[in-house]
Structure 1
Amino acid sequence: MALSGMRGLSVFISDIRNCQNKEQERLRVDKELGKVRTRFKNEKGLAPYEKKKYVWKMLYIYMLGYDVDFGHMEAVSLISAPKYPEKQVGYIVTSCLLNENHDFLRLAINTVRNDIIGRNETFQCLALTLVGNIGGREFAESLAPDVQKILISSSCRPLVRKKAALCLLRLFRKNPDVVNVDGWSDRMAQLLDERDLGVLTSSMSLFVSLVSNNYDAYWSCLPKCVKTLERLARNQDIPQEYTYYGIPSPWLQVKTMRALQYFPVIEDPSSRRSLFEVLQRILMGTDVVKNVNKNNASHAVLFEALSLVMHLDAEKEMMSQCVALLGKFIAVREPNIRYLGLENMSRMLMVTDVQDIIKRHQAQIITSLKDPDISIRRRALDLLYGMCDVSNAKDIVEELLQYLSTAEFVIREELSLKAAILAEKFAPDLSWYVDVILQLIDKAGDFVSDDIWFRVVQFVTNNEDLQPYAAVKVKEYLDKPAIHETMVKVGAYILGEYSHLLASRPGFSPREIFNLIHEKLPTVSISTIPILLSSYAKILMHTQPPDPELQNQIWMIFRKYESCIDVEIQQRAVEYFELSKKGAALMDILAEMPKFTERQSALIKKAEDTESDTAEQSAIKMRTQQQASNALVVTDQPPVAGTVPVSQLGLVKIPSTSNTDRPGDQELTHTNGVLTIVDPQPLDSSADLLGDLLGPLAIEGPPDNGSTSEHKMMSPHEGIPSEDALAIATVGEQPNSVQPIGNIAERFSILCLKDSGVLYEDPYIQIGIKAEWRAHQGRLLLYMGNKNTAPLVSVQALTLSPSHLKIERSLVPDTIPPRAQVQCPLEIINLRPSRDVAVLDFSYKFSSHVVNVRLRLPAVLNKFLQPISLNGEEFFLQWRSLSGPPLKLQEVVRGVKPMQLNDMANIFNSFNVMVLPGLDPNPNNLVASTTFYSETTRAMLALVRIETDPADRTQLRMTVASGDPALTFELKEFIKEQLISIPSIPRAPEPTPTQPPQVDLSDPGALLAGLM
């Protein structure tokens, strides 16, 4: 942009560049915006030069990332200026500041049309560029015929025509009816004969969009595309400016090959032969070089050519050549090339003839499974899964099992599922299949779904020859000192049913089997106890002649559980106790389980359903899930009878359980919760300075892409995908035989305000925290100290992170030695505003005690707030600029603990929201400000106003404003939670508002017992 003669603009840009920090820049921008707003509002007769200068400033401020919500009319009005400098500014700024649905654009349609049909080529290019960037349906209906005339005109220069092609592409995407299919087939063929590569490239972009919508009308264009590829491949008549690192117009080559893939398989021998010659030239001429830019261009052409080869169902010789080329790529050092090679090999697997050729690269693919880049490991896993068959299943599954021990938690579930499916589909014998599944459960029990162990039990039940072998194998695993609960389920079921087949072997007597299973009882959850009770009943049935001592021992267990609060356990205990008194009749009642009905494996069906989804459908599904809001609105209403009250909730993925001892016969259940949104009534308040600025405000729900959402009652499962087994579960104290020392919720509340302290403690372990927070990043150090003279074993710490936090952590050792302490650093990045909390799923074993707790981590909203001091002018300037929902929300809060205004100010300061005394003219009110940091918003100013009623301190009216709708809503709800939950939250000492405390993490320290 030309700045000559615009001294004011040059000075403003210089001031911005000289700012020492973000706050200085923001204040300078706010000052300039106020000045521009005043000039636009008060001076009606602005000269075009002055208006141009201020509009340039608006654009520069917008490019810095600030919201510019005024001056749009002035920018649009410059489009109709007669001179180029003002018209250029109008077009550029309008294209950047407005979108296709903006009302002001309608005012400019006629001016834009006049420029398009005019004779001034410069004005034509400006107008076409504007429409190509922000044109909507109204532009399409009004301007499409004129744009089409320019595109097919022989009198217009190529510069204008190529802009017209891209402009028509935009209008076609907004309204496909603007292009008449019947009339455009011949015209499109003429455009593809164009010699100018600029016009041809733009026309090819338009052609790709047209054939993706309807290819039948454009068969006459197909030979033109082949000729274009031949011209490019042979480098015939290609100007130097369209050659990129020796490659003739790689973008045009990619577009042309993509257009050909929308047609069915080409049957014409001449076109097919010419096309394969071009593809052969591309395959032979592509190699990896040192120049990254050339690699990117040549590989873009190559991989599009590979897609076209697969689409055309080429001969096996060419397919083999493609696989050999990809085999070179997966062996190079550059990770991006390896990734693309693996991904395209996976796509090649759709062509069954090349599966044997891909197997030759199995060793290199397995090597990629150990690559430092997790995305490459995922692609290698997908490829191994796809290329597996009977001949190589054993090797691949063994590699997957070996990799399972070191794989990250994010990939273990997928890895376990695929290993289980391959073992079932391609097992050389069933005993090997049993071995694989038991190894899976042993190495990654937390990531083995119920469907996997259900399936192995079905195989064992249906195959009599397999039953003794399975009983021996599960006993070997149950003999280990520490095993996963899923292994207990499998072992108890199989030994209860089939251990009597091996009664003559040492270690398989009924008493020994009972003792082996019964020692696991104190360590299992409620969902496993019914399976153990069934096993006891089976053991009692198979004990012939009866063993009175064993019988009395089992009867005592049944009597113990006759009064259990769980209905399933209670019923089984009562019924098994009564049945066991029937003597020989028990043999008929508790006979062996009948064979399962042969049916398709649930695992294979799940895999087939996944594979049938296209990549596009998967991407759409993922985007939909990401856009769903996770915010939970908790009211102070009493819970409905029979439901679980929602309080301090986190969205946690929990494996569902089923209380059946016959796997696969019952559906999984979810934990229920009640979510309610209540619209409070406004307080009666006399008009005041701040109230006049607010005007009428609605109380808004969580924003979605900047728009407000309607309030509605939500059912317990609404928005929760059952196939992902998501449940809303309380976190904190869990039912364990080992009781924690101190209140977990109080410890968490203290750490929300402090940066060091004890998160959890019980007789065996203490978990302390030290944290440091800077802007949108944080470093949280967990200290796990063993308080005893014996080691803690089977230690696991899994971080369950909400979608708004990116958490990276190091692995926790499996064993913590006596009187030792280990550290687990967590690197946290805040992506956007949210009140959801991360959860640490922590478990360990000490002697016979197995402890599992879910602990909320204090990476909460206020950790990403920094207090900021504003004077009256700065505060009111920002307050006025944020007008109405969703940027400014107001709510009446009831049930607040009565307190003096000074106490409330101390509370705000404690979570980094600085109270600004003296700004509100009403002495019963207070205003505050803070800066929120996240990766998406960076530094975002937020303002708060609290209006109290001296006659009733239990209610107040709160107004929160910021430049981000999500931040406004989340901060409002966060403050409300703090004010309502004050009685149960012990507050930490007040930090200094202007200088948040910093923590030195270089000193790990000893156990944190003295930090409380």
Structure 2
Amino acid sequence: MSPSVPLQEMIRAIRSARTQCEERGVIQRECAAIRAQFRQVDNGARSHNLAKLLYVHMLGYPAHFGQMECVRMIASPRYSEKRVGYLGAMMLLDEKQDASLLITNSIKNDLSHSNQYVQSLALCTLACMGSAEMCRDLAPEIDRLLRASNSYIKKKAALCAVHIVRKVQDLGELFAPAARSLLSEKNHGVLHGAVVLITELCERNPETLERFRKTVPDLVQIMKGLVISGYSPEHDVAGISDPFLQVRILRLLRILGRNNEAASDAMNDLLAQVATNTDSTKTVGNAVLYETVLTVLDIKSESGLRVLAVNILGRFLLNNDRNIRYIAMTSLQRIVGTDHNAVQRHRGTIVDCLKDQDASVKRRALELSLALVSASNIRSMMKELLLFLSSCPPELRAQAASGIFYAAGGDVRDETVPNLIQLITNASELHCYTVHKLYRALLNDISQQSLVQVACWCIGEYGDLLLRGECQETEPAQVTEDDVLDALETVLQSHMSSPATRGFALTATMKLSTRILDNVDRIRSIVSIYGSCIDVELQQRAVEYNALFRKYDHMSPYTSILSDKNTCLQVCDLLGLLGGSEEPLQPSPAPGLSLNTASTAGGDLLDLLGGLEPTPPAPGQIYTNTHTSHTTPTVTVYEKDGVTLTLSCEKQSDSVLTVTLTASNSTDSDMSSFTLQAAVPKVCLSTSNAKEAFSVRTCTYSRLCKTVSV
């Protein structure tokens, strides 16, 4: 190929190549000719050759040998060669190469050139590839150009200053005064550059941010001028006056008004005006409205203005453009925690987005719908989510609280499981329904890991409700202790279970040891297996749980007392720890705890302190115990394997209550390693305002062969 072939001919030859090998041959021949001409001292076609080399570079072929030619052409007095040389420097050079330092002096000379277009070339190159060293050396020149009279140069200098601030943050103070003065310019290009520069300065320096908060009135006036201005052919885009400048100003106002009430008040009226007067039928108008909404939600705006912003996002949900619907739901997701009621007004529209054909929109709608679930709408929301479940693809299957939880394969967010567990915990009236539904889901499918994790947690936490077999919300399942342990053991042994899921199942199995008394040995066996697991987390859990079994095995029969809230309250009231209760407490013995109330007055455990009326108090009445005697009958609280524990109380005075716990052995042989512990915290008695401390006594006997009293 002839060295004098023009650029158009080379492009045509490359495009006509039928194979990649043929294309490489054309480029190699042309690069060889370009190298030969670069070596000539006086070459009149240098810009022509460098232009061809830049095209080769854009195709992905090596062009580093043209770097020094760029340096020589930048130093050329001809504008045509300077233009191609600066373009080549921006494409072939970067701050990591030593050759970039060679053009520093040329850029400095061109920044003082009499031709504004030469100055513009130098400014653009410095803004594109200037290193930190170049920025420090040339920053005074850029500050000088920011104060020039030429608007074209000031616009370029402002954008170059942005690059310098990003490279060397300490130089921001140098440009702050000039940036402040640029806000008085009428040229939109200069205003745009000034706003971008001020935004960069405020984001990087808190002191500068405080200083520029004084410019909020000026920015408000500029923005109002753009909103109320008539048709301007130079700046109009689809009926909106300079939307690019409007967006930049709104972003700067968002930074200036954040966490500052005075600055926020100064821009509230403007934001309301922009929100109501901007045309939302065009994409350009929606861009301005979106930035307005973000600004309103990020500053200390008025409540009415925040509602208006949420309503704008609600209108976005009705837009035919899926991208606009997506960003609307993303914004609503961010504010649902702070403006929950305002977002709730658009719940119907959000739920309708679950039917969208786009998978990304569906996912966002699903996340937002789950965030809107509350105690007041949980039933209606679950119906909508169940309907969504019946038609959604497997990768978007979702199931929410109260037996419905979404598990989109492995794409479920990390916070989904704890958030759902928190939601289930707060809905106390649905615990029974939830554990029954999740238990059935666990039996049907254990491939959805997030669903399995929540199911295991609920079984471990509310396993007693599952075993009881009573549920008003759904048909209760007749489940035995072995059935529950079989389900958890299946999860532990499944190859589909992740280590995190096995951890949930192992912890749930351990929790059941306080609710299941006939299968404790099986639970201990299951836990022991994982003491040598290859997974460190599971191994640590198993070892710790086994240690609990060994160290506190003697207390396992009594831990079941604490697993039932009613029994716990009864014991506390028995000891005089409760001066009153908002509702009558009915005896509800924990599994494995034998409460013999035959000898109590009235047959009620709560009557152990004497004089308890047999009828429950009226609603709102304080439940108090009126003692008519100083002693109470003896009550058997535990009786198993020959060990019998009896409890009796004697009132010594208004502030002293003596509780006697008697342990006896009814078998023929002695019992070894018997330990009896009793601990009562400091409480405030209802009979006096003084804090009284109960004494704590611990008795340990190596062999229990007679009655022991504490």
Normalised by the shorter chain, which TM-score bucket?
0.5 to 0.7
Q: 1:587 & 1:274 partners in 2: Cα distance?
A: 69
Match of 2:438 in 1: 437
Q: 1:95 & 1:279 partners in 2: Cα distance?
A: 40
**Residue 95 of structure 2 is aligned to residue 110 of structure 1:** no
Decide which of 234, 243, 258 is 1:241's aligned counterpart: 234
Matched-pair contact (CA < 8 Å) for 1:188–1:207: yes
Instruction: Please tell me the residue identity of whatever aligns with 1:59.
Output: L
Instruction: Please tell me the residue identity of whatever aligns with 1:60.
Output: Y
Which whole-Å deviations, capped at 9, do the CAs of 1:162-217 have from their partners, x for residues lacking one? 01111111111100222326xx5443332111111111111111111011122022
Which whole-Å deviations, capped at 9, do the CAs of 1:500-523 have from their partners, x for residues lacking one? xxxxxxxxxxxxxxxx87997998
Match of 2:351 in 1: 366
Matched-pair contact (CA < 8 Å) for 2:110–2:119: yes
Which whole-Å deviations, capped at 9, do the CAs of 1:804-827 have from their partners, x for residues lacking one? xxxxxxxxxxxxxxxxxxxxxxxx
Q: 1:268 & 1:541 partners in 2: Cα distance?
A: 61
- 1:449 deviation in Å? 6.6
Q: 2:364 & 2:509 partners in 1: Cα distance?
A: 44
**Residue 468 of structure 2 is aligned to residue 468 of structure 1:** yes
Change (3 A) 1:521 1:114: closer
Q: 1:391 & 1:86 partners in 2: Cα distance?
A: 73
Decide which of 53, 65, 77 is 1:82's aligned counterpart: 77
Q: Which runs of 5+ in 2 are unaligned?
A: 397-407, 566-710
Match of 2:457 in 1: 455
- 1:427 deviation in Å? 5.0
Decide which of 374, 387, 395 is 1:409's aligned counterpart: 395
Q: 1:458 & 1:539 partners in 2: Cα distance?
A: 9
- 1:68 deviation in Å? 2.2
Change (3 A) 1:172 1:469: same
**Residue 41 of structure 2 is aligned to residue 45 of structure 1:** yes
Decide which of 210, 218, 221 is 1:216's aligned counterpart: 210
Corresponding residue SS for 2:374: coil
Q: 1:133 & 1:495 partners in 2: Cα distance?
A: 66
Matched-pair contact (CA < 8 Å) for 1:165–1:202: yes
**Residue 63 of structure 2 is aligned to residue 68 of structure 1:** yes
Which whole-Å deviations, capped at 9, do the CAs of 1:815-871 have from their partners, x for residues lacking one? xxxxxxxxxxxxxxxxxxxxxxxxxxxxxxxxxxxxxxxxxxxxxxxxxxxxxxxxx
Match of 1:302 in 2: 289
Change (3 A) 1:140 1:596: farther
Match of 2:272 in 1: 280
Change (3 A) 1:349 1:565: closer
- 1:308 deviation in Å? 1.3
Residues 707-746 of structure 1 mapped to structure 2, 5 A cutoff: none
Matched-pair contact (CA < 8 Å) for 1:397–1:423: no
Match of 1:120 in 2: 115
Change (3 A) 1:540 1:188: closer
Matched-pair contact (CA < 8 Å) for 1:404–1:412: no
Change (3 A) 1:77 1:89: same
Q: 2:373 & 2:512 partners in 1: Cα distance?
A: 41
Which whole-Å deviations, capped at 9, do the CAs of 1:295-337 have from their partners, x for residues lacking one? 1x22221111011111233333322222222222212322111
Instruction: Please tell me the residue identity of whatever aligns with 2:201.
Output: L
- 1:444 deviation in Å? 6.1
Residues 852-1001 of structure 1 mapped to structure 2, 5 A cutoff: none
Match of 1:256 in 2: 249
Change (3 A) 1:466 1:436: closer
Q: Which has the higher contact order (CA 8 A, sep 6+)?
A: 1
Residues 177-196 of structure 1 mapped to structure 2, 5 A cutoff: 177-180=170-173, 184-196=175-187
Instruction: Please tell me the residue identity of whatever aligns with 2:72.
Output: S
* TM-score where L is the length of structure 1: 0.46
Decide which of 181, 189, 193 is 1:198's aligned counterpart: 189
Q: 2:121 & 2:110 partners in 1: Cα distance?
A: 8
Q: 1:243 & 1:282 partners in 2: Cα distance?
A: 16
Instruction: Please tell me the residue identity of whatever aligns with 1:457.
Output: I
Q: 1:493 & 1:268 partners in 2: Cα distance?
A: 62
Q: Alignment identity in percent?
A: 24
Match of 2:338 in 1: 351
Q: 1:216 & 1:61 partners in 2: Cα distance?
A: 49
Matched-pair contact (CA < 8 Å) for 2:436–2:477: no
Q: 1:46 & 1:383 partners in 2: Cα distance?
A: 69
The answer to which structure has the higher helix fraction is 2
**Residue 231 of structure 2 is aligned to residue 231 of structure 1:** no
Matched-pair contact (CA < 8 Å) for 1:492–1:532: no
How many residue pairs match? The answer is 522
Q: 1:60 & 1:14 partners in 2: Cα distance?
A: 12
Match of 1:952 in 2: none
Which whole-Å deviations, capped at 9, do the CAs of 1:734-783 have from their partners, x for residues lacking one? xxxxxxxxxxxxxxxxxxxxxxxxxxxxxxxxxxxxxxxxxxxxxxxxxx
- 1:373 deviation in Å? 1.9
Q: 1:343 & 1:143 partners in 2: Cα distance?
A: 42
Matched-pair contact (CA < 8 Å) for 1:242–1:248: yes
Change (3 A) 1:565 1:91: closer
Matched-pair contact (CA < 8 Å) for 2:515–2:563: no
Corresponding residue SS for 2:255: coil
Change (3 A) 1:227 1:372: same
Instruction: Provide the alpha-carbon RMSD of the alignment.
Output: 4.5
Q: Which runs of 5+ in 1 are unaligned?
A: 480-490, 497-515, 544-550, 580-585, 599-1012
Matched-pair contact (CA < 8 Å) for 1:390–1:428: no
Match of 2:661 in 1: none
Matched-pair contact (CA < 8 Å) for 1:493–1:535: no
Instruction: Please tell me the residue identity of whatever aligns with 1:309.
Output: V
Corresponding residue SS for 2:267: helix
Change (3 A) 1:534 1:93: closer
**Residue 126 of structure 2 is aligned to residue 137 of structure 1:** no
Matched-pair contact (CA < 8 Å) for 2:145–2:154: yes
Match of 2:34 in 1: 36
Q: 1:21 & 1:206 partners in 2: Cα distance?
A: 49
Q: 1:531 & 1:261 partners in 2: Cα distance?
A: 47
Change (3 A) 1:478 1:122: farther
**Residue 86 of structure 2 is aligned to residue 91 of structure 1:** yes
Q: Which has the larger radius of gyration?
A: 2
**Residue 319 of structure 2 is aligned to residue 332 of structure 1:** yes
Instruction: Please tell me the residue identity of whatever aligns with 2:292.
Output: A
Which whole-Å deviations, capped at 9, do the CAs of 1:606-650 have from their partners, x for residues lacking one? xxxxxxxxxxxxxxxxxxxxxxxxxxxxxxxxxxxxxxxxxxxxx
Instruction: Please tell me the residue identity of whatever aligns with 2:7.
Output: L
Match of 1:382 in 2: 367
* TM-score where L is the length of structure 2: 0.64
Residues 838-857 of structure 1 mapped to structure 2, 5 A cutoff: none
Which whole-Å deviations, capped at 9, do the CAs of 1:33-65 have from their partners, x for residues lacking one? 23333444xx34241x33222211110011223
Instruction: Please tell me the residue identity of whatever aligns with 1:205.
Output: V
Q: 1:539 & 1:429 partners in 2: Cα distance?
A: 20
**Residue 387 of structure 2 is aligned to residue 391 of structure 1:** no
Matched-pair contact (CA < 8 Å) for 1:492–1:535: no
Corresponding residue SS for 1:179: helix
Corresponding residue SS for 2:64: coil
Instruction: Please tell me the residue identity of whatever aligns with 2:335.
Output: M
Match of 1:342 in 2: 329
Q: 2:237 & 2:450 partners in 1: Cα distance?
A: 51
